[in-house]
Amino acid sequence: MDSLHHPEAKRALRLKLRRKRFELSKQEQRQAARRLCQQLKHLPEIQRARRISLYLPVNGEIDPTPLLSWFRQRNVDVYLPVLRPLSDNSLWFVAYHANTPMVKNRFGIPEPDTRFAAQRRNRLPAWALDTLIVPLVGFDAQANRMGMGGGFYDRSLAFMRRPGPAPALIGVAHAFQQVESLPVEPWDVPLSAVVSDLGVVRAGKKKS
């Protein structure tokens, strides 16, 4: 284990990248979101998906929600991650519409309110989705991902290591969140690609 994997080094890297994200103006955020969504609309994994998840941005995360109206036009079913109650800090995915009742979870992130039966009926495990749009704090040229550090996505996607359904995993980020190298841990689930406001990096591709 080299020094990159040291918990203190990971913490420092997360802090540095999150600060940078936080400093963006509203206008910079809007422009980055627009550029991101242009790239996403051309991605095969996005174009072919009938069931897709995205997230509502917090703390300067790049905003994928301009895609919502495009998905509606195409009759794509859109889901949001929700913390599974009474479980192991993993996520399930609940259908999201303009009128879905929302509630803040323990991290202050709005999510569909699963106290309502309608929301509970419309929830899926990650393996039932075609494509997940996944937030991240850092990524590298091989589409490795560093998240917020809770392990929520890694736990929810652990099934990807076994044979069976394998949704496409598309990380999204501001281009400046790309770093030279990341501490990849055994439990980190590889992404298919990372899309930023400036381009796409694919897993398994060497840096050009």
Ligand X SMILES: Nc1ncnc2c1ncn2[C@@H]1O[C@H](COP(=O)(O)OP(=O)(O)OP(=O)(O)O)[C@@H](O)[C@H]1O
Residue with tokens 């996403």: 40
Task: Tell me which of ligand X, Mg ion, none is bound by residue 66, counting a contact when its beta carbon lies within the kind-specific cut-off of 5 to 8 angstroms.
Answer: none
Binding window for Mg ion (CB under 5 A); candidates: 1-9, 128-136, 161-169, 187-195: 187-195
Nearer to ligand X, 55 or 79 (CB): 55
Give the torsion sign (CA, 174, 179, 181, 184): negative
Which residue number, 44 or 149, has a Cβ lying nearer to ligand X?
A: 149
Residues found near ligand X in the complex (CB under 6 A) = 146-155, 158, 185, 187-188
Measured from the CB atom, is 51 or 84 closer to Mg ion?
84
Residue nearest to ligand X (CB): 147
Measured at the CA of 198, the angle between CA 32 and CA 157, to 5 degrees, comes to 85
Smallest separation (angstroms) from Mg ion to the CB of 68: 27
Alpha-helical runs (H) found in the chain:
7-22, 26-41, 44-47, 68-73, 117-121, 152-156
What tokens does 22 get? 């936080």
Question: In the complex, what is the shortest distance from the CB of residue 2 to ligand X, in angstroms, rounded to a whole number?
Answer: 16
State how far the Cα of 156 lies from the Cα of 162, in Å rounded to an integer.
Answer: 13
Cβ distance to ligand X smaller for residue 37 or 173: 173
Nearer to ligand X (CB atom), residue 22 or residue 70: 22
Smallest separation, CB 105 to ligand X (Å)? 13
Among 154, 173, 194, 196, binds Mg ion (CB under 5 A): 154
Cα 90 to Cα 39, 64, 165: the distances in Å are: 29, 22, 18
Sequence-ordered list of residues with C-beta below 8 angstroms from that of 103, at least 6 positions apart, any chain: 110, 111, 112, 113, 115
Report the interface residues with Mg ion, using CB under 5 A: 154, 188
